[in-house]
Structure 1
Amino acid sequence: MLAFVYKSLKKADTYVYLAARDDFARLPAPVRAQLGELRFVLEVALTPERTLARENPEVVRRNLAANGFHLQLPPSVQDPLLDDWGTDA
């Protein structure tokens, strides 16, 4: 399965995978409005042995098959002050 990846120029670290190149009609209007302009960045074959840096490729394939798109949001940022530093003092 091929996926066509676009970067949102409005939302940092936000990407859209499409099942067909430039098929933006698949995106719901509210999502499209939030993303703003999209720039093509990559064509990738999502084979079963393929790995992706931030996404589970099986989830991406399922979303592409069911909806025609997959939305990759930025990783959540955790406050380092909330981390367990190993001190109980």
Structure 2
Amino acid sequence: MRAIDLSAVSWRRSSYSNTSGGECVEVSDDLLRAADWRKSSYSNQDGGNCLEVAEGIPSLVPVRDSKAPALGALLFAAPAWAAFVDGVRREEPGWAA
């Protein structure tokens, strides 16, 4: 797993942080631009069904449509994503449309 280089990521203080310098929470609106995206091996070659997954973010698995990355990503807890992928591999009923 590759660590994400956060040096180019912009951060802003959350509106929930206090003004005395303590309990500050910073958030990033562009963190996923720095992520290492890879196309799913299940994506086809003619431009359809293209799913990308970002690696290297502890505890989360970002997933997006490679044809429309600007629309954002869905974030899944790593255990939930692992269970989903395992279910698809086993072709369990209810996992595929």
TM bucket, shorter chain: under 0.3
The TM-score, its normalising length taken from structure 1, stands at 0.26
TM-score by length of 2: 0.24
Greater relative contact order, per chain length (Cα 8 Å cut-off, separation 6+) = 1
